[in-house]
Amino acid sequence: MKNTSVTFKESKNKEKLTMLTAYDYSTAKLMDESGINGILVGDSLGMVCLGYEDTLPVTMEDMIHHTKAVSRGAKNTLVVADLPFMSYQTSVYDAVVNAGRLIKEGGAQAIKLEGGKDMHEQIKAIVNASIPVMGHIGLTPQSVNSFGGFKVQGKSEEAAKKLLEDALSVEKAGAFAIVLECVPVKLAKLVSSKLSIPTIGIGAGDGCDGQILVYQDMLGMFSDFTPKFVKKYANVGEVMKLAFKEYINEVKDGIFPEEKHGFKIDDEVIEKLY
């Protein structure tokens, strides 16, 4: 069955939603074939694919390029693409135009943007343009400089109250789902119970309506740092390194390629060239 923003909303209180990030065609295809509900083309691609220290340098062109690739690989999975830093904070107009580009050029079916009350007008305008919006509150990585680092959010009474107000504002603006990142477990559970739209948690515990992870983290492919909330489901990085080393050794030792890996030509054609 095709996952859509509507099936996401309908799953609330019925079935947990599963999401992973992806940034290319073959990974998206594998996830789609595995039955994942949603793929986020996250601006985390700046860190895990492009090697930046944070997500701030990611451009609209980066996002469109990777969203196009993912969209070609995802058949039944909902493809959500991130609006990058400064593509929507600048004005409601910019938000609608850039959200439209991720749908029209990238082939996504929904967009995600970071922020609560402050982004209410942007979310409303994008939804009014018939583009489904996923919100994102808590640790919003595009605000890393204001937060003073990648830190858990909503721990004090004031911050917890603000987080709940932000969630309600994002829902009121028309979002179909909302990511809660690095939020204390009990707060995420409370927020989830107050909303009629699904919450997708990352570092927010089991009280959310769904979960998302960055795929390089859960496959053990990104070694720069591993957040506390990540569970490694495989050690693909080690498997890759073993295969790379074996290939290097075999080429150097003349073991690869073998005869079966080559293409034939008639001897008489070759002889004429000597």
Cα 160 to Cα 138: distance, rounded to the nearest angstrom: 9
Question: Closest distance between ligand KIV and the C-beta of residue 52, in Å?
Answer: 12
Neighbours of 96 (CB within 10 A): 18
Our CB check for ligand KIV shows the closer of 149 and 254 to be 149
Instruction: Locate 36 and state its tokens.
Output: 């994942």
Q: How far is the CB of 211 from ligand KIV (least distance, A)?
A: 10
In the bound state with ligand KIV, the residue whose beta carbon lies nearer, of 21 and 122, is 21
Instruction: Give the active site residues.
Output: 181
Give the integer Cα–Cα distance in Å for 35 and 76.
8
Cite the annotated binding site for Mg(2+) by residue number: 43, 82, 114
Q: How far is the CB of 194 from ligand KIV (least distance, A)?
A: 21
| Burial bucket for residue 17 (CB in 10 Å: 0-12, 13-18, 19+) | buried
Which residue minimizes CB distance to ligand KIV?
A: 42
Contact set with ligand KIV (CB under 6 A): 21, 40, 42-44, 82, 136, 179, 181, 202, 212, 214
Name the E strands within the chain. Answer: 17-21, 38-41, 78-82, 110-112, 133-138, 177-181, 199-202, 210-213
Residue ranges of the binding site for 3-methyl-2-oxobutanoate: 43-44, 82, 112
Cβ proximity to ligand KIV, 225 vs 274, nearer residue? 225
